[in-house]
């Protein structure tokens, strides 16, 4: 669990949740015959979900969420 105060720091909680979601998916990818495509899919899925969450709040979004496509 994060050692953050119960108020504020929501942006850090969203970042930590994204990293926590990525960990088991990457572990699964490491067990596959072709781990790189799996890891790329896991990364983009988690990052897309993170950015969706970021745009769902009225705070400044994380800089990478303003990029599109391969960027």
* pLDDT in single tens digits along all 71 residues of the chain: 567 777 777 888 888 889 999 999 999 999 999 999 999 999 999 988 988 888 777 776 666 676 665 55
- Whether residue 34 lies inside any domain: the answer is yes
Q: What is the pLDDT of residue 10?
A: 80
Q: What is the pLDDT of residue 41?
A: 94
The CA R_g of the chain, rounded to the nearest whole Å, is 14
- Whether residue 57 lies inside any domain: the answer is yes
Structurally, how many domains does the chain consist of? 1
- Whether residue 4 lies inside any domain: the answer is no
Which residues, 6 or more positions from 10, have their beta carbon under 8 angstroms from its beta carbon? 57, 59
- Whether residue 70 lies inside any domain: the answer is no
* Structural domain range at position 24: 10-65
- Whether residue 17 lies inside any domain: the answer is yes
Q: What is the pLDDT of residue 34?
A: 92
């Amino acid at each position: 669990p994060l050692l953050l105060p119960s108020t504020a720091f929501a942006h850090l909680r969203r970042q930590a949740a994204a990293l926590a979601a990525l960990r088991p998916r990457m572990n699964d990818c490491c067990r596959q015959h072709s781990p790189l495509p799996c890891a790329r899919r896991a990364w983009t899925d988690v990052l897309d979900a993170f950015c969706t969450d970021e745009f769902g709040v009225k705070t400044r979004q994380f800089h990478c969420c303003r990029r599109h496509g391969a960027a």
